[in-house]
Amino acid sequence: MVKKIDAAGLHYTPLNRQVREAVAAGEDEIVIEHVLGQRFIADGLVGEVTLVVNGVPGGDIGMFMRGPTVVVHGNADHAPGNTMEAGRLVIHGSAGDAVAHSMRGGMVFVRDDIGYRGGIHMKAYNARHPYLVVGGEARAFLGEYMAGGTILLLRRGSKEPFAERGLASGIHGGEIFVRGEVDDGCLAVGAVKKSFGDEERAGIRPLIEEYCRHFGCDAAPLLADDYTRIGPASARPFAGKYTWE
Amino acid sequence: MVLGSVPVKYRVTIDRDRCMECGRCIENCPYGTFRWEGDKITAVSRNCTACHRCIAMCPRDAIGLEERPVDYRSHPVWTVEAREAIFNQARTGRVILAGMGNAQPLPSIFDRLLLDACQVTNPSIDPLREPMELRTYIGKKPKRLEFSRTGAGDVELETKLTPNLMLETPIMIGHMSYGAISLNAQLALARAVHKTGTFMGTGEGGMHPNLYPYQDRLIVQVASGRFGVGIDYLERGAAIEIKIGQGAKPGIGGHLPGEKVCADVSCTRMIPLGSDAISPAPHHDIYSIEDLAQLVRSLKEATEWKKPVFVKIAAVHNAAAIAAGIARSGADAVVVDGFRGGTGAAPKVFRDHVGIPIEAAVSAVDAKLRDQGVRNEISVIASGGIRNSADVTKAIALGADAIYIGTAALVAMGCRVCGNCYRGLCPWGIATQRPDLVARLDPEKEAVHVANLIEAWTLEVSELMGAAGINAIESLRGNRDRLRGYMLDEGMLEVLDVLPAGA
């Protein structure tokens, strides 16, 4: 059954309360109409439910979320998927800065572009592995301090090498795949290029296919293209920085 | 420079007349200071950290310890510490890492503040006879209360109150994470706060399942690494603290070295085994006071506005203005951590040179919040180098609602402030994850010691209040008339808003 919530003129707290009540009542799909800048949608939400957000949500959508699928028909503001534990966030548009900040599980798909610091400090643990898939461009400091997980940057429509600075600075876990070439000058301290072979190609295949399923595009050319794989030079980037008193 | 070119820091001696060669010193020293040579125990003084474990365990009091047994040519500028730091960095080219709090011999402001007592004109209060109110509520207080009268004539409170923490004493235990300290140490602290009706912080290390029984007394922490943070963790805490900064190392993040990330620590922090746990310097979703307000509200929204949210900052030059911004972010308490605050590991240059004293910071924060008419909006918690009940009383008189202790609680469990926490070999089972060392700390026994300390200090605070003719902690808070400055300069007296002794 589909539960509809009209968010017109509604503050985020009563909106989230309605969402929580609907989830508690056993609804498996909730459609929120007329969303306009409400922050924290699905903040800390737990459960197996699908939220369809029609409009433009404010910051931190899906923060601390564990389980739900949130589909945004519109752009998202900053930090969607912030410290998210599990679930899916699918954004039909672009998103702001710090997308998937400190995310530790689940998947975030952004159809178009993201801002600065995407995937910053993402981390994996045991079965928890966060994925960030971006269809368009990302700005500087992508994957900074990354401690685990996977970032896939498809750069659809771009032919020039990726040239945003501070890429993966301080990375000590996880992997970043960028379609096409990456300018060496972008790689920040601790980040190195690694080989991209059949195994890696097979690894990102499901991500590309799911991206194309969500946004209705042809997977074949994206699957055929080459990617630059970036990872940490060490899991202990600061091991050699200190001496004892 | 060759090995041995720098003199030993400590000289360990064994009194042969007293030693019975039982070997307990060898078993107890994880730094390898003692060893068998034939049938005799000898000491390798160079390995000693002055942790006193051997001295505490020697059944014959046979071990002697002397600090700096080798003199350098004395010099007022080129101190031994200055010279030895240069030797170290010339050899390694690295940042010097140090433990515990600021080790500079700077004068303490607390020691230059004197408390008041009643004589003749107003009688002092005997806490044994009169009730003393030390119960403290942490959180927002309404500016005014609205009431309505029901038809039956009852009075009902109309004002909606926000959740507060109720403390039976204004003394809390600050945030020391699992990872920085051992699980047994955390368990002892948790039992102690349970027993004394106060609260402790989990630090940025998640919450181990063994602490769940004490969760209603735990303040969970959200710091820049977001280690262990998830919705369950947030729901478990009695309150949530956002850590922006720490007095021991303002402006920088933290690196828990991979060696300390054992299986259990890896589990509570939710990071891979043996990986460095790196907390970046800033929260990367907070680049402004507006962003801070957003994080405060996201935490409240995630926990359905049921929990107070604290924001902890290091005491820095403009702490008062920052606290005023925090008061407007929706936070319920601001924690100000002074430059003497302890740490498991910090670059020595930060520990010893960055930040300001808690006495000046808490006074400035309290004054600024009062000036702006928002003091009721937020509680003030002072921390960083609180050593005794007099420091507690003075901090409250300078404007704090409550205080956090850290090092003092560890000392209650055996810590000798040797300052080698970052090496992960703490012989007292506190700052270590090595199972045999952790097992040395009995959580039951040490909980009693920590609770004793909190109870003793609470008793002393009530005695000090009674002597000053004050019977409620509210009347002490920000009551600078009960303080006088001794040997403090005019500028400092002005910052503290305290009169000089005799005035």
Tell me the per-residue pLDDT of A56-67, one tens digit each, with 9 for 90 and over. 999 999 999 999
Beta bridge partners of B242: B222, B311
The answer to whether residue B259 scores a pLDDT higher than 80 is no
pLDDT of residue B258: 76
Q: Which amino acid is at B205?
A: G
CA distances from B315 to A162, B288, B343, B373 (A): 42, 18, 15, 21
Residues 6+ apart with CB under 8 A from B120: none
User: Using an 8 Å Cβ cutoff, are B338 and B380 in contact?
Assistant: no
Q: Which residues of A touch B301 (CB under 8 A)?
A: 12-13, 16, 39-40, 43-44
The answer to whether residue B495 scores a pLDDT higher than 80 is yes
Q: How far apart are CA A86 and CA B446, in angstroms?
A: 39
Residues 6+ apart with CB under 8 A from B379: B137, B138, B139, B140, B332, B333, B334, B401, B402
Stated as kind and residue range, the H or E segment containing B396 is: helix B389-397
Going by the DSSP 8-state scheme, the letter that residue B7 receives in this structure is: P
Residue A85 and residue B285: Cβ atoms within 8 Å? no
Q: How confident is the model at residue B4 (pLDDT cuts 50, 70, 90)?
A: low
The answer to whether residue A207 scores a pLDDT higher than 80 is yes
pLDDT of residue A176: 98
Beta bridge partners of B241: B221, B310
Q: Which of B176, B174, B143 is nearest to B161 (CA)?
A: B143
φ and ψ of A88, to 5 deg: -135, 140
Q: Which of A125, A93, A128 is nearest to A110 (CA)?
A: A93
Q: Is B347 on the interface with A (CB under 8 A)?
A: yes
Could you report the predicted ipTM of this complex, rounded to two decimals? 0.95
pLDDT of residue B1: 55
Continuous H helices in B58-161: 80-92
Q: How far apart are CA B332 and CA B241, in angstroms?
A: 10
The answer to whether residue B198 scores a pLDDT higher than 60 is yes
Residue B231 and residue A102: Cβ atoms within 8 Å? no
Length of chain A in residues, anyone? 245
pLDDT of residue B264: 83
**A133-183 tens-digit pLDDT:** 999 999 999 999 999 999 999 999 999 999 999 999 999 999 999 999 999
pLDDT of residue B277: 80
Q: Is B231 on the interface with A (CB under 8 A)?
A: yes
pLDDT of residue A1: 74
User: Using an 8 Å Cβ cutoff, are B388 and B457 in contact?
Assistant: yes
Neighbour-count burial for B268-295, b at 16+ CB within 10 Å, e otherwise: bbbbbeebbbbbbeebbbbeeeebbbbb
Residues 6+ apart with CB under 8 A from B327: B334, B369, B372, B374, B377, B378
Q: Which residues of B touch A149 (CB under 8 A)?
A: none
pLDDT of residue A234: 85
Residue B165, both tokens: 């923490």
Residue A211, both tokens: 């991206």
pLDDT of residue B270: 80
Domain B10-72's class?
A: alpha beta
Q: Is B229 on the interface with A (CB under 8 A)?
A: yes
Question: To the nearest whole number, what is the mean pLDDT of chain A?
Answer: 96
* CATH node for B136-500: 3.20.20.70
φ and ψ of A120, to 5 deg: -70, 130
User: Using an 8 Å Cβ cutoff, are B336 and B380 in contact?
Assistant: yes
pLDDT of residue A127: 87
Q: Looking at CA atoms only, how far is residue A218 from chain B in angstroms? A: 34
- pLDDT > 90 fraction of chain B, expressed in percent and rounded: 88
Average pLDDT in the B211-230 region?
95
pTM, two decimal places:
0.95
φ and ψ of B438, to 5 deg: -60, -40
Neighbour-count burial for B416-438, b at 16+ CB within 10 Å, e otherwise: bbbbbbbbbbbbbbbbbbbeebb
Taking CA–CA distances from B86, the nearest residue in chain A reads A245
Q: Looking at CA atoms only, how far is residue A225 from chain B in angstroms? A: 32
Neighbour-count burial for A12-49, b at 16+ CB within 10 Å, e otherwise: bbebbebbbebbeeebeebbbeebeebbbbbbbbbbeb
Q: How confident is the model at residue A126 (pLDDT cuts 50, 70, 90)?
A: confident
Residue A63 and residue B266: Cβ atoms within 8 Å? no
For tokens 């850590």, the residue is: B243
Residue A235 and residue B258: Cβ atoms within 8 Å? yes
Beta bridge partners of A203: none
Q: How confident is the model at residue A10 (pLDDT cuts 50, 70, 90)?
A: very high
Residue A170 and residue B270: Cβ atoms within 8 Å? no
pLDDT of residue B172: 98
B136-500: same fold as B10-72? no
Going by the DSSP 8-state scheme, the letter that residue B181 receives in this structure is: B
The answer to whether residue B3 scores a pLDDT higher than 60 is no
Instruction: Tell me which residues of chain B, numbers 399 to 428, contact chain A at a CB-CB cutoff of 8 Å.
Output: 419-420, 422-423
The answer to whether residue A244 scores a pLDDT higher than 90 is no
Q: Which of A151, A143, A229 is nearest to A194 (CA)?
A: A229
Binding site annotation covers B118? no
For tokens 């891979």, the residue is: B272
Average pLDDT in the B160-170 region?
97
CA distances from A3 to A21, A49, A68 (A): 11, 11, 15
User: Using an 8 Å Cβ cutoff, are B143 and B169 in contact?
Assistant: no
Q: How far apart are CA B202 and CA B181, in angstroms?
A: 10
Interface with A, mutate which of B9, B160, B270 (most A CBs under 10 A): B270
For tokens 């959200």, the residue is: B222
Residue B1, both tokens: 């420079």
Binding site annotation covers B51? yes
Least confident of A80-94, B258-272, B325-339, B373-387: B258-272
How many CB pairs below 8 A link A and B?
139
Q: Looking at CA atoms only, how far is residue A201 from chain B in angstroms? A: 24
Residue A40 and residue B302: Cβ atoms within 8 Å? yes
Q: How far apart are CA A7 and CA A53, in angstroms?
A: 10
Taking CA–CA distances from B275, the nearest residue in chain A reads A235
Q: Looking at CA atoms only, how far is residue A235 from chain B in angstroms? A: 6
Average pLDDT in the B90-109 region?
93
3-state helix, strand and coil shares in percent for chain B, rounded to the nearest 5 = 35, 20, 45
Residue B175, both tokens: 């945030």
User: Using an 8 Å Cβ cutoff, are A134 and A116 in contact?
Assistant: no
**B167-188 tens-digit pLDDT:** 999 999 999 999 999 999 999 9
User: Using an 8 Å Cβ cutoff, are A129 and A109 in contact?
Assistant: no
- Concatenating the DSSP letter of every residue in A200-228 gives HHHHHHHHHHHHHHHHT--HHHHHHS-EE
pLDDT of residue B262: 79
The answer to whether residue B159 scores a pLDDT higher than 90 is yes
Nearest residue, CB atoms, A66 vs list B230, B255, B419: B230
**A29-57 tens-digit pLDDT:** 999 999 999 999 999 999 999 999 999 99
Q: Could you give the 3-state DSSP secondary structure of residue B306?
A: coil
Binding site annotation covers B22? yes
**Domain ranges for chain B:** 10-72, 136-500
Q: How far apart are CA B17 and CA A244, in angstroms?
A: 36
Interface with B, mutate which of A121, A175, A238 (most B CBs under 10 A): A121
Average pLDDT in the B39-52 region?
96
Average pLDDT in the B52-75 region?
97
The answer to whether residue B148 scores a pLDDT higher than 80 is yes
Q: Which amino acid is at B488?
A: L
Question: To the nearest whole number, what is the mean pLDDT of chain B?
Answer: 95
